Amino acid sequence: MSRIGKLPITLPSGVTVTLAGDVVTVKGGLGTLSQKLTSGITITQEGNVVTVVRPNEEKQTRASHGLYRALINNMIVGVSKGYTIEQELVGVGYRAANTGNLLELTLGYSHNITFDLPKEIKVETKTERGKNPIIKMQSHDKQLLGAVAAKIRSLRSPEPYKGKGVRFVGEQLRRKAGKSAGKK
């Protein structure tokens, strides 16, 4: 039995879970999310406890059991509390500004990068003198938020020598030593 898959999920107040066919829909205070289930995986609900059930012991079904439990749990947490990701821009002249859901980044290229964020994501930029600019994104959809954050990070990945680039707040980078002494 999957250690993750067999764990029950407790629903917070204000969150409802419905199963229509093979699509699970989770509604809460922050929004609505849905996920299609495969491999015959089903859910059962008793009061405010949701359990993910697998029909057989086939390898693919066992693999999907824990996955769908984790996805449903992430949806429940997302519509009740939400998720937040913060990224910082490390580098001289790196800037971030937003107008609504349009994010404008200056990352050391010859042009500014404009990034149009999905409407499900709320963005806020913070620039303080003497500190790195911060991009703070909030959403109820963990998958979408992670994909957008990864795309922004890929615009200028942190390099290992000086550490310049877009990184997550608190991320530890492996730094490399630069060149050693000059010619002999």
Cα–Cα distance, 176 to 26 (Å, whole number): 45
| Range of the structural domain that residue 53 is part of | 9-80
Residue 176, in any domain of the structure: no
pTM: 0.89
Q: For residues 61 and 91, state if they share a domain.
A: no
Closest CA to 160 of 148, 172, 174: 174
Which phi and psi angles does 42 have, rounded to 5°?
-130, 170
- At 1 the pLDDT is 58
- At 13 the pLDDT is 92
Cα–Cα distance, 52 to 149 (Å, whole number): 29
∠ CA 129-130-132, rounded to 5°: 95
Q: For residues 87 and 146, state if they share a domain.
A: yes
- At 31 the pLDDT is 93
| Position with higher pLDDT, 8 vs 1 | 8
- At 183 the pLDDT is 64
Average pLDDT, stretch 135-148?
A: 96
Average pLDDT, stretch 144-166?
A: 95
If one counts the domains in the chain, the total is 2
CATH code for the domain of 95: 3.90.930.12
Tokens of 23: 């699509």
Q: For residues 89 and 115, state if they share a domain.
A: yes
Least confident range from 30-34, 57-61, 118-122, 131-135: namely 57-61
Q: For residues 90 and 156, state if they share a domain.
A: yes
- Residues 18-34 have pLDDT tens digits of 999 889 999 999 999 99
Residue 91, in any domain of the structure: yes
As a three-state string, the secondary structure of the chain is: CCCCCCCCEECCCCCEEEEECCEEEEEECCEEEEEECCCCCEEEEECCEEEEECCCCCHHHHHHHHHHHHHHHHHHHHHHCCEEEEEEEECCCCEEEEECCEEEEECCCCCCEEEECCCCCEEEEECCCCCCCEEEEEECCHHHHHHHHHHHHHHCCCCCCCCCEEEECCCCCCCCCCCCCCCC
Tokens of 166: 């877009």
Final residue of a structural domain among 29, 57, 80: 80
Final residue of a structural domain among 80, 115, 131: 80
